[in-house]
Amino acid sequence: GESVGLHLPTLSVQEGDNSIINCAYSNSASDYFIWYKQESGKGPQFIIDIRSNMDKRQGQRVTVLLNKTVKHLSLQIAATQPGDSAVYFCAELNAGKSTFGDGTTLTVKP
């Protein structure tokens, strides 16, 4: 069956450093891969997505990399700020349904 999981449950970085959050997926048929950010007490918020036929996409301070050979997805956050502290989920979109991984908690130390 489908599953989306994350390598590390927690990540702690120093303010100003770059963060890399990883995700492994199993469904090769997924159309899109999406990263969400969830702050405490709130719903997930869209960060960036990447289509399955791409291997890199950049946004503002964020970059998503997709390696279909090893079914690996990563989110890179440049110059991490305290406001980036949250739980980050990867999700894969297939046939209109998004399947989420378990999340990585990012903590930014001042």
Partner 1 sequence: NAGVMQNPRHLVRRRGQEARLRCSPMKGHSHVYWYRQLPEEGLKFMVYLQKENIIDESGMPKERFSAEFPKEGPSILRIQQVVRGDSAAYFCASSPRLARSGANVLTFGAGSRLTVL
Q: Which residues bind partner 1 (CB under 8 A)?
A: 4, 31-34, 41-46, 48-51, 89, 93, 96-103
Shortest Å distance, C-beta 66 to partner 1: 12
Nearer Cβ to partner 1, position 70 or 95?
95
Shortest Å distance, C-beta 11 to partner 1: 15
CA dist 90 and 23 (Å) reads 7
42 CB burial (10 A radius; 0-12, 13-18, 19+): exposed
Nearer Cβ to partner 1, position 15 or 102?
102
Nearer Cβ to partner 1, position 96 or 110?
96
CA dist 110 and 101 (Å) reads 28
CA dist 46 and 13 (Å) reads 22
CA dist 5 and 95 (Å) reads 19
Shortest Å distance, C-beta 95 to partner 1: 8
